[in-house]
Amino acid sequence: MITLKGTNIYLRALEPEDLEFVYQLENDETIWHVSNTQTPYSKFLIRQYLENAHQDIFEAKQLRLAVCKNSTSVAIGLIDLFDFDPVNNRAGIGILIQDETHRGNGIGKEALQLLINYSFRQLQLHQLYANIGVDNEASLNLFATFGFQKIGVKKDWMYNNNSYHDEAVFQLINDQH
């Protein structure tokens, strides 16, 4: 896979060395509501996942990439294409920057731009969609920056902190395809 490089960050395939990072991220209960995670993941399961990360998007129906600063190869976040549907030329897209000190400074924006470009140019996708909690202002603003349009709201969709929360569905159509 080609390296997706921006001005300040780049996206790369997951490596076995990312085990501890992915393990910490997947087991951080404070963000489970964002990823619809219900239970902890073992290092064994994550190691197996990383061993199979070599599958391409057509085989795995998903693509998970590490977000790294240009000055280092250490992952600071993950960005995903999921539910890849090559027949209908669409995929879901999601992003998570782990450490709050890396949020709000353009890293997520640059990573999302790189993956949108890759999705539309290399994968020839017609559309991307994102599921975002209606109270997640940072993500709502980030996806709006790229022209994602809200197409609906799933009422009481996510249960978190003893209450139900709505989730909005956003869509970006590739007008060039």
Question: What is the domain partition of the chain in residue ranges?
Answer: 4-126
Ramachandran sector of residue 30 (left: φ over 0; alpha: ψ -120 to 50; beta: rest) = alpha
Helices (DSSP H) in the chain: which residue ranges?
Answer: 19-26, 32-35, 43-51, 57-60, 107-121, 137-145
What distance in Å separates the CA atoms of residue 118 and residue 95, rounded to the nearest whole number? 15
pLDDT of residue 128: 98
Region 136-144 average pLDDT: 95
At residue 159 the predicted structure's pLDDT band, cuts being 50, 70 and 90, is confident
Domain 4-126: which CATH number of 1.20.1630.10, 1.10.3470.10, 3.40.630.30, 3.90.226.10: 3.40.630.30
Region 154-168 average pLDDT: 90
What distance in Å separates the CA atoms of residue 94 and residue 81, rounded to the nearest whole number? 7
